[in-house]
Amino acid sequence: MSESQCAYICLENSDNCCEITYATSTRECKLGQSSCCHTVFDDMVGSNIIQASRKYGEYTKMLFVSNGGVLGDWADEQFCTKGHYAIGYKMKIEEPHETDNTEVNAIDIICGSRGGDRCGDKASSGQERWGDWTGEALCPAITFLTSFSLQVQKHNDERKDNTGANYVKFKCRHLKDSGNDFDLSYPPGYGVYGSYGEWSDACPVNSAICGIKIKIQPFQGPEVDDTSLNDVKFFCCE
């Protein structure tokens, strides 16, 4: 492949492509550290395109809220494919019942390219055993998750059934726009117990949420109160 052919590929796929470099010595077109949607290149057989690694742990800002639950331990963070950002989310929720409610048991962020295309990757950080997955809540076209608010039932030792986190909602925004954000929540937008706290900080301009880390209490055994997911942090990437 020639250098001009490599440059043309990058130009034609600028909505998905974050960085392409040309290796003169091997005449190979390399997808750089920021990667691209692999589906763009599926039909380019023999084109000497080298794919970059799909996961990474770099970020520019961490988002958190002050009302997170106190129980549980922080799980490992998980990120979208490099060059992808969160375009929506879904939750695993246990519906209210007579004994030991846990409400939110997991949160998945759905990842997409800078052009808003879905490439099949997501990030979750872990989950507990209870509940069912909601449908997806997606940002308007070519906007991304940039801040969040968490609904939490404050822990009370005298209460026999604490639930921890009950719901999460977000704001969506264009990458290069510091204003004009959009509220995003999965209907009805709130859980049964607790209340929403203040909004987190927002990702800086030219960045959006790209990763997640949850604080989760594992199964406590029979006759012991379970709360499952208690708190969450999100990561911003340029």
Domains, the chain, with CATH or none: 3-50 (no CATH), 61-237 (2.100.10.20)
| 212 Cα distance to chain centroid | 5
Q: Is 87 helix (H, G, I), strand (E, B) or coil?
A: strand
What band does 52 get if pLDDT is binned at 50, 70 and 90?
very low
| Sheet of strand 195-196, all strands in order from the earlier edge strand to the far edge | 182-184, 165-173, 144-152, 195-196
DSSP assignment letter at 201: P
Cβ atoms of residues 233 and 132 within 8 Å:
no
How confident is the prediction for the chain on average, in pLDDT?
81
Cis peptide before 218 (omega within 30 of 0): no
**Higher per-residue pLDDT: 2 or 166:** 166
* pLDDT at residue 192, as a whole number: 87
- Whether 54 has a pLDDT exceeding 90, the answer reads no
* pLDDT at residue 214, as a whole number: 92
Residue type, 154: K
For the ranges 58-67, 182-191, 219-228, the lowest mean pLDDT is seen at: 219-228
Distance from C-alpha of 114 to C-alpha of 38, rounded to nearest angstrom: 13
Distance from C-alpha of 208 to C-alpha of 234, rounded to nearest angstrom: 10
> In this structure, what token pair is assigned to residue 166?
């009950």
Q: Residue 9 forms beta bridges with which residues?
A: none
Distance from C-alpha of 228 to C-alpha of 29, rounded to nearest angstrom: 46
Distance from C-alpha of 45 to C-alpha of 79, rounded to nearest angstrom: 29
What are the residue ranges of helices labelled H in the chain?
3-12
In 3D space, the residue among 75, 137, 66 whose CA is nearest the CA of residue 105 turns out to be: 75
* pLDDT at residue 168, as a whole number: 96
pTM to 2 decimals?
0.76
- Whether 76 has a pLDDT exceeding 50, the answer reads yes
* pLDDT at residue 37, as a whole number: 53
Q: What angle do CA 9, 12, 16 make, to 5 degrees?
A: 90
